[in-house]
Amino acid sequence: MKLARSFFLLFVLATAAAVEVALLGPIGLPGATPPLVMILVLSASIRRTPNRAALVGFVAGIIVDAMPSSVTPLGVSAFAFALMAYVISNIRDLMIGSVGLPLIAAAVTGGLVPLVQQFQMSLIGADFSRSEPLLVVLITSALYAVMLSTIVLPALAWLEERFSPRNSSFVR
Amino acid sequence: MALKPLPPVDTDKRRIFAGILLLSLVLSFLDARASFGPLNLARQGMETLLSPLVTGTSSIAKPVGDFFEDWSQVGSKDEIIKELRVENAELIAQIQAAPDALRRVAELDQLLQTAGLGEFRIVLARSISAGSSSGYGSTILIDAGTVDGIEVNMSVMAGYGLVGRVIEVTKNTALVVLISDSTSTVGARVAENGKIGFLSGRGNNQDMLLEFVDPTAKVSVGDRLVSYGVAGGIFASGIPLGIVKSVKAAGGNSSLTADVQPFVDLRNLDLVGVIVSKPRTDPRDKLLPTPTVIPTVTVTVTATPEVITPTPSATISNEAP
């Protein structure tokens, strides 16, 4: 059952990454692409221990980096997502039951993840140039993260209740 | 009071997290160098696995994506349409203006060539309006005046010949009476035989009338006329005037008169040159347009014997059955 839930989460993350690449990217919104996978990782991190959350972030990042149209080397998003998930999981006690804090966390991580990615890209010496200025990307990413959170976080909470009524997590 | 000991730090758990981060860093470093074979293979394998998912999602999400894409580009598309319309209007204007521009270039070229050949110093001007003015039936108003050095009685020419003379000048415009005006008379010389006469306008853009000083002078259809200047005269010498269209005897004696068609189409004047300085020497006939050679058409008919191919037909027999 635990393995099945893990595969289910993997499928959800892969589908979300595909939606991000195939739907949200081509829309052509100004600035960053709405970070759907990152919001899923955030949501999962709220209900997991730090190491498990970091593992989910790592796997999600690997999927994003391995997408056919990805421009980031394998491991760049994994690093940023794992770091973000670990931090969020460490403060999860504050966020469970709160409405405002997860949105604030989404805004902060939405803004910081592209920054961490940029930093890591320069650290490993990868050639990477964005079409938009970094500040625009950070601001729009934070904005889109908040907007997505208002839909995705309640939807995932409902899914968790539906699939695991006694335990508020569908993957432990 | 004894200090309460700090809770033990779970170093194993931190090692796991640090391991995840380190693994991510190493992966990204190796992948960025693109030289680590197994990682390339792993990446290609993952891309192969994920491609169907992306393709499937794309085909499902395409209508939604197209809608949002169109929606997000509504403003920019309007802008593009607006820019294209402006560009289209400019291109249409250019296409429409091209024949006019070419015609004007040809006129200018001809005018400069004629003026240069006759060593006339001219001021270029354009005809602003045409009609009757100041008691004259056939005049044009040009956009050059005293500021350009234009004075009354200066000769005005176009590409192929004389147009008229300046009768009034303001600061920026000048009124020109055409040689076709009924009050206008120009001294003329027949280029073919040197006979001298007077070319008078008849108004209403009719052909002009040539009358000779010498009643025995002869002229033929197709003869060309140039202006004949006299000392203190108005018109410069040697400017082409027109071509003889018809010749007839003048009222009961042997002298001839002729109808002359001006070289210049005086009804459609655009670019003209005001002669501000006459040449020291008479250009004589060298400004005259080359006579048009009408080719003689020779039709040769060669008879070709017709070849009749026999075709099968019914045979009529005279024999009795």
| Nearest residue of chain A to residue B29 (CA atoms) | A124
**pLDDT tens digit sequence for B82-137:** 899 999 999 998 888 888 888 888 888 888 888 888 888 999 999 888 877 767 88
Grade residue B9 by pLDDT with cuts at 50, 70 and 90: low
Q: Which three-class secondary structure string do you get for A67-120?
A: CCCCCCCCCHHHHHHHHHHHHHHHCHHHHCCCCHHHHHHHHHHHHHHHHHHHHH
- Residues of chain B with C-beta less than 8 angstroms from the C-beta of A61: 24
Nearest to B24 among A18, A79, A126 (CB): A79
Check: CB of residue B126 under 8 Å from CB of residue B143.
Answer: yes
Residue with tokens 């075709």: B311
Min Cα separation B40/chain A (Å): 10
Structure tokens at B169: 């000048």
pLDDT attached to residue B147: 92
pLDDT attached to residue B301: 52
pLDDT attached to residue B103: 83
- Name the least confident of A37-46, B51-60, B207-216: B51-60
Helices and strands (H, E) in chain B, number of each type: 3, 12
Residue B198: phi, psi to the nearest 5? -125, 130
| Nearest residue of chain B to residue A71 (CA atoms) | B32
Task: Report yes or no: B36 at the A interface, CB cutoff 8 Å.
Answer: no
Structure tokens at B82: 């607006």
Check: CB of residue A34 under 8 Å from CB of residue A148.
Answer: yes
Q: Alpha helix locations (H) across chain B? A: 11-33, 37-72, 74-117
- Name the least confident of A54-63, B148-157, B282-291: B282-291
ipTM over 0.90: no
DSSP conformation class of B23? H
Instruction: Report A:23-82 residues touching B (Cβ under 8 A).
Output: 23, 26-29, 50-51, 54-55, 58, 61-63, 65-69, 72-76, 78-79, 82
Contacts of A105 (CB under 8 A, 6+ apart): A42, A88, A91, A95
pLDDT at B76 over 60: yes
Nearest to B72 among A27, A121, A123 (CB): A27
Chain center to CA of B153: 33
- Residues of chain A with C-beta less than 8 angstroms from the C-beta of B51: 68
The answer to whether B29 contacts A68, with C-beta atoms less than 8 Å apart, is no
pTM here is 0.48
Task: Print burial letters for A142-153: b (CB count within 10 Å at least 16), e (below 16).
Answer: bbbbbbbbeebb
Q: How far is CA B302 from CA B139, B174, B298, B305, in A?
A: 57, 64, 13, 10
Residue with tokens 């400004």: B287
pLDDT attached to residue A42: 92
| Total Cβ atoms within 10 A of residue A127 | 7
Grade residue A172 by pLDDT with cuts at 50, 70 and 90: very low
Check: CB of residue B164 under 8 Å from CB of residue B179.
Answer: yes
**pLDDT tens digit sequence for A20-64:** 888 787 777 888 888 999 999 998 898 888 999 999 999 999 999
User: For B239-254, what is the mean pLDDT?
Assistant: 82
Task: Report yes or no: B9 at the A interface, CB cutoff 8 Å.
Answer: no
**Rounded distance between C-alpha atoms, residue B247 and residue B184, angstroms:** 21
Of all residues in chain A, what percent are helix, strand and coil, respectively (each to 5)? 75, 0, 25
Report the DSSP beta bridge partners of residue B175: B141, B168
A54 versus A164: the higher-pLDDT residue is A54
Instruction: Please give the span between the terminal C-alpha atoms of chain A, in angstroms, as a whole number.
Output: 10
The answer to whether B69 contacts A69, with C-beta atoms less than 8 Å apart, is no
Highest mean pLDDT among B12-21, B46-55, B162-171, B230-239: B162-171
What is the Cα Rg of chain B in Å? 45
Structure tokens at B235: 């018109």
Which residue of B13, B16, B22, B27 is the best one to mutate when testing the A interface, meaning the one whose CB has the most A CBs within 10 A? B27
pLDDT at B11 over 80: no
The answer to whether B28 contacts A75, with C-beta atoms less than 8 Å apart, is yes
**pLDDT tens digit sequence for A105-140:** 999 999 899 888 888 888 887 666 666 788 888 899
| Nearest residue of chain A to residue B23 (CA atoms) | A75
**Rounded distance between C-alpha atoms, residue A145 and residue A133, angstroms:** 18
